[in-house]
């Protein structure tokens, strides 16, 4: 049974609240080993490490959380605390200043920390709708979350995947493109950007995205599979003339229709902001 990273993080939160920090660490390390950890998971793991005295490991996890979401105020504050514990006072002061600067920027008329919590609540409600099969309602909630936190790219990534499942490839493409422009190192988002281009009927753009990604991540078997799919369907080639008067105009001869988008798994990652 494939337990979603989000579910494991919720279990870890329960262990954390019971002060079973080692239990939380065990669950969160499992999330990390799956390769699907998100900023919230790294933050909680870092906090758990710090509470059992493993400060170097705590700092590494908090660094990852901030790398995924540079505006993650709570992670910045805990990172500053850990840096102070390690005797790195100047770096700790810089982290505290950064958290203070971010915390002072309002969004939609709300203080940043309030807006972040509201965004999280919208995302949680979106997850509930998604689990119940309400794709339209889930999309609405994630859109509301992004209005409050437009830089929360883990939420944008999840919205893009839900949009693909809802058959809205053009809308999904727009969101994945925003992520790729803001965070070029987010290679999973780049792969999904290519898939959204393909499902929107733009095989040329999909090929360009995936070929660039293959150069950056040659070990990823998905990229070769995507490119092989393009070769098989030939959607990136100019349309061939109709084979007969009955054939629809502009349909490539022998081309197969694009497959349905892959099922969305919960666990694209939701950031817990303060």
**Structural domains of the chain in order of their starting residue, each with its CATH number:** 5-103 (1.25.40.10), 112-233 (1.25.40.10)
Question: How far is the C-alpha of 240 from the C-alpha of 252, rounded, in Å?
Answer: 5
Start-to-end C-alpha separation, the chain: 32
Q: What is the full per-residue pLDDT of the chain (274 aa) written as tens digits?
A: 456 777 788 899 899 888 899 999 999 998 888 776 788 889 999 999 999 999 999 999 999 999 888 878 788 889 999 998 899 988 988 888 787 766 656 677 777 777 888 998 999 999 999 999 999 999 999 999 999 988 888 899 999 999 999 999 999 999 999 999 988 888 889 999 999 999 999 999 999 999 999 998 888 888 888 888 888 876 444 344 334 333 333 333 333 444 444 444 444 444 444 4
Instruction: Say whether 110 sits in a helix, a strand or coil.
Output: strand
- Predicted TM-score (pTM) of the model is 0.54
Q: Which residue has the tokens 């494991």?
A: 8
């Amino acid at each position: 049974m494939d337990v979603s990273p989000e579910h494991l993080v919720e279990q870890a939160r329960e262990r954390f609240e019971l002060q079973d920090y080692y239990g939380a660490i065990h669950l969160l390390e499992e999330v990390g080993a799956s390769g699907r950890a998100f900023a919230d998971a790294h933050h909680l793991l870092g906090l758990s490490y710090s509470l059992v005295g493993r400060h170097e490991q705590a700092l590494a996890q908090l660094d990852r959380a901030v790398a995924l979401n540079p505006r993650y105020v709570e992670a910045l504050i805990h990172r500053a605390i850990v840096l102070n514990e390690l005797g790195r006072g100047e770096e700790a002061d810089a982290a505290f200043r950064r958290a203070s600067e971010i915390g002072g920027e309002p969004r939609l008329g709300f203080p940043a920390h309030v807006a972040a919590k509201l965004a999280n609540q919208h995302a949680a409600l979106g997850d509930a709708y998604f689990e119940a099969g309400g794709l339209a309602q889930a999309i609405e909630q994630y859109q509301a979350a992004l209005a409050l936190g437009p830089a929360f790219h883990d939420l944008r990534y999840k919205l893009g995947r839900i949009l693909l499942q809802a058959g809205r490839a053009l809308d999904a493409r727009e969101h994945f493109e925003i992520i790729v422009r803001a965070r070029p190192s987010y290679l999973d988002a780049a792969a999904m950007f290519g898939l959204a281009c393909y499902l929107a009927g733009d095989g040329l753009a999909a090929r360009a995205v995936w070929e660039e990604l293959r150069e950056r991540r040659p070990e990823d078997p998905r990229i070769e599979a995507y490119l092989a799919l393009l070769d098989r369907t030939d959607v990136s080639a100019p349309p061939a003339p109709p084979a007969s008067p009955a054939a629809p105009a502009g349909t490539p001869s022998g081309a197969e229709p694009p497959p349905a988008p892959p099922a969305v798994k919960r666990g694209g990652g939701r950031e817990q902001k303060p």
